[in-house]
């Protein structure tokens, strides 16, 4: 059954083996081997080229689909802001590189050494995608990939995912040292806006 699966390549394979054997023995009919070699190299080059072409087509066909998806998910310009727990001692400004370091999960404390807890919305949430793109400058699946590397090597923990902005706001207002993001119109006295420098 499997042999049938490989039937097409195995024809090529047999020819290749013939060539290899011919080269190794060196006693067989030289012109025959030579002719076989020419044919083979052509066929092999052609099949490789065709395979690559087919694959490239596959790669390219979805470019339009994915870009269409991206534009669908974000409806108009929504201003997103970084928020933190209401703690008078805590800073109200943060460096962009620190935000990036916090969300890469490599930075585990605030600059003053106090504990840091990072909150995110789910990967497919439009606001998360916007935050990744605008504030972090990265696509959500790249960020997920780097978190996975940290988690499965034991070198770090992922951020805490929340379902919506209400939950995000509530968690941040309850957790000292928490950081997260919501849209500007959702901000109230329960949280403090962090200005990105």
Q: Are 182 and 81 in contact (CB under 8 A)?
A: yes
* Integer Cα distance of 105 and 185 in angstroms: 27
For every residue of 47-68, DSSP letters joined together read HHHHHHHHHHHHHHHTHHHHHH
Residue placing its CB nearer to other proteins in the complex, 63 or 75: 63
Question: In the complex with other proteins, which residue's Cβ is closer, 33 or 150?
Answer: 150
What's the start-to-end Cα distance of the chain, in Å?
64
Q: Site size for other proteins, by CB under 8 A?
A: 59
- DSSP notation for 143-191: HHHHHHHHHHTTS--PPEEESSHHHHHHHHHHSTTEEEEEEGGG--TTE
Nearest distance in Å: CB 179, other proteins:
13
**Does residue 124 bind other proteins (CB under 8 A)?**
yes
Q: Which of 41, 137, 183, 184 binds other proteins (CB under 8 A)?
A: 137
Shorter beta-carbon distance to other proteins: residue 124 or 188: 124
Which residues of this protein are in contact with other proteins, per CB under 8 A? 2-3, 5-6, 9-10, 13, 16-17, 20, 48, 51-52, 55, 58-59, 61-63, 65-66, 69, 95-98, 100-101, 104, 106-109, 111, 113-116, 123-124, 136-139, 141-143, 145-146, 148-149, 151-158
């Amino acid at each position: 059954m499997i042999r049938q699966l490989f039937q097409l390549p195995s024809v090529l394979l047999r020819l290749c083996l013939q060539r290899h054997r011919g080269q190794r023995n060196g006693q067989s009919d030289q012109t025959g081997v030579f002719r076989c070699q020419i044919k083979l190299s052509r066929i092999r080059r052609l099949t490789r080229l065709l395979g690559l072409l087919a694959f490239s087509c596959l790669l390219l066909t979805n470019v339009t689909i994915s870009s269409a998806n991206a534009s669908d998910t974000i409806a108009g310009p929504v201003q997103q802001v970084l928020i933190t727990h209401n703690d008078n001692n805590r800073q109200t400004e943060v460096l962009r590189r620190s935000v990036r370091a916090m969300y890469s999960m490599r930075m585990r404390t605030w600059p003053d050494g106090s504990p840091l807890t990072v909150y995110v919305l789910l990967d497919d949430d439009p606001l998360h995608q916007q935050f990744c793109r605008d504030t972090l400058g990265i696509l959500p699946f790249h960020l997920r990939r780097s978190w996975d590397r940290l988690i499965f090597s034991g070198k770090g923990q992922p951020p805490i995912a929340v379902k919506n902005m209400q939950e995000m706001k509530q968690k941040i207002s309850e957790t000292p040292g928490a950081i997260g993001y919501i849209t500007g119109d959702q901000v109230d006295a329960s949280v403090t806006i962090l200005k990105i420098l």
